[in-house]
Chain A
Amino acid sequence: MPNNRDGHPMREEDELRAALHTLERHAPGPDRMLAAICASVGSAPPPERPRRWWRRAADLPGSWPGWVTPLAAAAAVVAVVAASVLVAKVYAPGRAGGARPHRVSTAASPFPTWDGLPAYFITDPGPFKGAEPSGTNVGGTPASQLPRAQQLQIIATATGKAAATVRLPGYVAAISASAGAFFAAVVKDHAANFYEVRLTRGGTHATATKLPIPADTAPIGYIAASPDGSKLAISTFVQHGPFGDIQNLVVAATGTSAERRWRTPARDAKGGRSMGIMAWLADGKTLAFNWVGGAQVSPSTGLRLLDTSAPGSNLLSGAFVLRGYNHAGSFDDYNISPDGKILLGVVACLPGCAPGSAGTVRGRPAVLGSLIQFAAASKAPTVRYTEPELPGVPVHPVNSGCIDPMWLSTSGHRVLLPCFQHRPRTPQRKGRTFPHVLLLDGGKVTGLPWLDGVVNGFVAFPGVTFVGGTLPLPVNP
């Protein structure tokens, strides 16, 4: 890099170009701006343009008789109203409580790929986790402050920019993606309805269609779309006697109103046991879900599989794959590759976040925040990635690490992994945590800096829903 006359290194024009583009993140939301405009002018409708053409046409020599123009205008009004009604029926994101739900006809074709990754994903920048349709509080937010409608952005993986946005008629409680479409649980009027969002017009627009799944009044935990988008797994909380909320699972067909339900067995329905993130295996019938058995170190905490084609309604009737607290450390949750052969987990702090490692991988302490891969059959662990520690920065308990994978390929060979590095506060500057997104391709690690900004929200790639927004903060910020 050349230096200027004072000996300072010179920057390039492209750096300025890139820096300016990062400022787009400060752009105000169009909805918010429109609301401000309406408020400032007392919600008056926008002034109409003077319609001089009407009078002029009538005055023109040789024009049609005077009675034709009003008749044509009336016909045009009728046509516009009819067309609006038709368009509203076909494209409108549905209205909660509508009498006749739309039927989603065909499975969406899979998304195109970019460098082997799905070319699009959906983000929910302001997630209302733990939404409670039947209650007044959602994530501690008073109902009066909840947005009445919420926009989701569909992001192009190649650029990190929004390819399309879709406005939904309530606040979004959960998102997911199949191989070719996105799904959202949307809460309005104390009921959750479910929408399919498809990209249209070459990936520049998105339309939302209300699914015929019966509305649910229980609080929504997570949703997971099957690879072909024909089924949606929905985890909900239900009140269960004196033990508080327990978990219910619904698997609903997205094209009809058919659904099946599973419940937590009564003996397990106590002590805050709940389902975490879930995902379908490639066979389209096995659902993998993380189960928190009351505590992080509880023997029943871990990854479970449920064969949704088998009879029965016991949520815990399937196979238990791996404990959350095991020989390689402590893991809050796991992602399983769609072929079911490997599990990926990030080494988490034990309760109290004690320094040091909770387990070992091949005789060496597993570093907090590193990504560990387990063979599903043998449970043998391998360190897949460890974020470098920052030299000169205190490491108590961690100054760098990773979160959960945002996406993984069918075999788990390729993983999109958000990690972070933390710089502590110094007298000269504030402490900050820097998230960044890496693509692990076997042993090769590549940064995708244009995706760094999405780490703070919910992200749904086909097969994986990533819950962001809560970067691990160091003890000494």
Chain B
Amino acid sequence: MTFEEFAATRMPGLLRFAAVLAGDRATAEDLAQEVLIRAYARWDRIGCLDRPELYVRKMMLNEFLSWRRRSSRQIPAGGMASEPASIAPDHAAAYNEREALLAELGKLPRRQRAVLVLRYYEDRGDSEIADLLGCSPGTVRSHASRALAALRIEMSPRRQAHAE
């Protein structure tokens, strides 16, 4: 696969993955740019792989996990509880709840966040996530469980049974 073919067919999906992983546009751009420039330079080897996008995705994940700097998120959150109860259908409440959840997601350790993104955005299984992150499936479940507890997310009974 040439880099042009890769860019035309696989890049949009990778850029979306970078955005979800990073959580904001500026960080997503930095992350994607660093990884793609490196991938471009080594394309003679990466392009020969059966599924180069998987390799680039793993590069992206490693880059994200190795970053030491933290982005400063500017999400207006909180303050809802002190407001008077709404009697009108309040479409803004749903937004605020989502934004609050995203803000809390941004505070998670990177590895926990990566596990959640791979599990709930990419719909990957725990063993696949373990392969990507280079750890055991048990560690993946442990990261996921801690992250979900921090976000006050109730695991579905099916998944809970699997975890136990």
Asked, given contacts A16-B120, A46-B2, whether A388 binds B15 with beta carbons under 8 Å apart, the answer is no
Residues of chain A with a CB closer than 8 A to B105's CB: 16, 19-20
Residues of chain B with a CB closer than 8 A to A295's CB: none
* In the complex, B161 has a CB within 8 A of chain A: no
Q: Which of B65-119 contact A (CB under 8 A)?
A: 76-79, 82-84, 86-92, 94-95, 97-98, 101-102, 105, 116-117
Contact B156 A24 (CB under 8 A): no
Sample of 5 A–B contacts (CB below 8 Å): A27-B18, A30-B7, A46-B2, A49-B2, A434-B91
Bound: A21/B28 CA distance, A: 14
Contact A447 B153 (CB under 8 A): no
Name A22's contact: one of B37, B98, B151 (CB within 8 Å): B98
Q: Which of B1-27 contact A (CB under 8 A)?
A: 2-4, 7, 11-12, 15-16, 18-20, 22-25
Name B120's contact: one of A17, A24, A41 (CB within 8 Å): A17
Contact B86 A390 (CB under 8 A): yes
Q: Is the interface of A mostly helix, strand, loop or mixed?
A: mixed
* In the complex, A421 has a CB within 8 A of chain B: yes
**Most-contacted residue by chain A among B12, B91, B154 (CB, 10 A):** B91
Residues of chain B with a CB closer than 8 A to A430's CB: 76
Name A436's contact: one of B16, B82, B91, B148 (CB within 8 Å): B91
Contact A432 B76 (CB under 8 A): yes
Residues of chain B with a CB closer than 8 A to A449's CB: 91, 94
* In the complex, B152 has a CB within 8 A of chain A: yes
* In the complex, A47 has a CB within 8 A of chain B: yes
**Most-contacted residue by chain B among A25, A26, A430 (CB, 10 A):** A26
Contact A24 B20 (CB under 8 A): yes
Q: A40-B37, A47-B43, A419-B91 are in contact. List 16 more A-B contacts (CB 8 A).
A: A9-B152, A10-B154, A11-B152, A22-B98, A28-B19, A28-B28, A30-B7, A32-B29, A34-B7, A34-B11, A41-B40, A46-B3, A388-B90, A390-B86, A390-B92, A449-B94
Contact B90 A421 (CB under 8 A): yes
* In the complex, A392 has a CB within 8 A of chain B: yes
Name A434's contact: one of B19, B25, B95, B156 (CB within 8 Å): B95
Contact A429 B79 (CB under 8 A): yes
Contact A4 B84 (CB under 8 A): no
Report the interface size for chain B: residues with CB under 8 A from the other chain: 60
Bound: A46/B42 CA distance, A: 9
Contact B151 A47 (CB under 8 A): no
Name B28's contact: one of A2, A26, A429 (CB within 8 Å): A26
Report the interface size for chain A: residues with CB under 8 A from the other chain: 53
* B120 (CB) vs chain A CBs: closest residue: A17
Residues of chain A with a CB closer than 8 A to B11's CB: 30, 33-34
Contact B47 A13 (CB under 8 A): no
Asked, given contacts A19-B105, A388-B88, whether A11 binds B15 with beta carbons under 8 Å apart, the answer is no
Contact A33 B4 (CB under 8 A): no
* A23 (CB) vs chain B CBs: closest residue: B20
Bound: A421/B11 CA distance, A: 36
Q: Scoring A residues 374 to 395 as 1 if CB is less than 8 Å from chain B, else 0, what string do you get?
A: 0000000000000011111000
Contact A27 B19 (CB under 8 A): yes
Residues of chain A with a CB closer than 8 A to B91's CB: 419, 421, 434, 436, 447, 449
Residues of chain B with a CB closer than 8 A to A33's CB: 11, 15, 29, 32-33, 36
* In the complex, B44 has a CB within 8 A of chain A: yes
* B122 (CB) vs chain A CBs: closest residue: A20
* A400 (CB) vs chain B CBs: closest residue: B88
Residues of chain A with a CB closer than 8 A to B25's CB: 26, 28
* In the complex, A12 has a CB within 8 A of chain B: yes
Contact B20 A11 (CB under 8 A): no
Residues of chain A with a CB closer than 8 A to B77's CB: 429
- Closest beta carbon of chain A to B16's beta carbon, Å: 4
Contact B32 A28 (CB under 8 A): yes
Bound: A36/B153 CA distance, A: 38
Contact A49 B102 (CB under 8 A): no
Name B121's contact: one of A17, A389, A390, A436 (CB within 8 Å): A17
Q: Scoring B residues 142 to 157 as 1 if CB is less than 8 Å from chain A, else 0, what string do you get?
A: 0000001001111110
* In the complex, A426 has a CB within 8 A of chain B: yes
- Closest beta carbon of chain A to B79's beta carbon, Å: 4
Residues of chain A with a CB closer than 8 A to B44's CB: 47-50
